[in-house]
Amino acid sequence: MPTALAHRSHLVLDSPVGPLTLVATGGALSGLYMEHQAYRPAEEVFGRPAADPGTAPFGAAAEQLAAYFKGRLTSFDLPLLLHGTPFQRRVWAALRRIPYGGTVTYGRLAALIGSPTASRAVGLANGRNPIGVIVPCHRVVGSSGGLIGYGGGLDRKRFLLDHEYGTLAGSAAAVEPEGLCLSW
């Protein structure tokens, strides 16, 4: 096994959106992939199967994902290791600031990261997000508010958004809250 993979392991969890493959590098979560996801790495990149599903970060990630899908958790607190370009990491950091149950357009997200003409590049970075659900790329929508461009499939994007909206039933969180300010 190449040295870079020697410190990687993975665990597959069942979820309402199908099997989720969690990948850890050292003690940090470096991947969360859905079955048949676009840009999903080859299985050999995931490293060895986790010897103990309760070890860091798998135990905490499994607990938090279970709580999320039960509607009891609205934000994740896990050590993350995101590999990507500086621009991709800026986009992924911005995704983590989109409130639970909220959405933002690709154009608005580009403006919020200081690159107002880069909505297409934001979409490409969003599609390459290595940690789905936890880094909520499903909360980015088209300029008309429609569902477009989700690597896990539009049916899963709809499920995740409906799940969050349902959890927040009765609140005004279905769109980006007025005055949302993402700061860096």
Mean pLDDT, all residues of the chain: 89
Residue 174, pLDDT score: 42
Identify which of 50, 56, 104 has the alpha carbon closest to the alpha carbon of residue 77. 56
Model confidence band, residue 114 (pLDDT cutoffs 50, 70, 90): very high
- Structural domain including 107 reads 86-165
State the distance between the two ends of the chain, measured CA to CA, in whole angstroms.
38
pTM: 0.87
Residues 59 and 96 occupy one common structural domain: no
Asked if residue 47 is part of any domain, the answer here is yes
Q: Per the residue annotation, which of 137, 141, 160, 161 is the catalytic one?
A: 137
Domain of residue 38, CATH code:
3.30.160
Let me know if 137 is a catalytic residue: yes
Residue 80 is assigned to a structural domain of this protein: no
What number is the average pLDDT over the span 96-109?
95
